Structure 1
Amino acid sequence: FQTIDMFADSLMISRSTVFSDMIEVEKQVRIFDLKVETKSRYGVRLLGDETNFRRAFSYFLSQKEAGLLKKSNYQNFEKVFPFVEIRTVLSEEIQCNQLKLSYFAFENILLH
């Protein structure tokens, strides 16, 4: 569990902002079959199975405009990481080894 105060302190925003943003958080995570659980005197936590957590995490990281704001060190990492080269090498290895892989599975492997 994480308390509202923990969120407010780490994000440097008011408690009321956290409360109002939690409404949007609940809507967003519901798309991935996740649920926000609130418990008096404990705080809030996110419930769901690991696959749905991974799907949600991948989705939010991949959003450029409406998603989570990425920290500058992750943005720097993205700039220098050779995604195009890795895509090419992985695609060649799949073809060379005659593996059958759907487009969605291929993209998930690259994203993770």
Structure 2
Amino acid sequence: MTIIRTELWELEVTHEVVDVTPMNEPDPVWGYTDPAGHKHRYETGVELVSTSDLHVATVESVSLGAYWCEDCCDEHEEFEIRCKECAAPVTPGTRAVTDQRFMPG
């Protein structure tokens, strides 16, 4: 809450905050070598605002096709993350989020 006061009036501003805490986030120390020997890890040396900005340059997202979701009554597309060189499936590492995060609602 913010209050602005003058001699004649007072303005009170309140806003709701929304919990935006994710269940997990990219693990910056994760690394993986696929069966063909290709190494995969999050890029380093890049200034990050948050761990959600981490990127794995050696993989690509490949569409496995669309499907109908009965829960939300909408069509979704399923993807798999694969090595760009040999197409081996790669699951980038994540870690649990231990702090609560909020943003103005």
TM-score by length of 1: 0.20
TM-score by length of 2: 0.20
Of Structure 1 and Structure 2, the greater strand share is in 2
Of Structure 1 and Structure 2, the greater helix share is in 1
Q: Which has the higher contact order (CA 8 A, sep 6+)?
A: 2
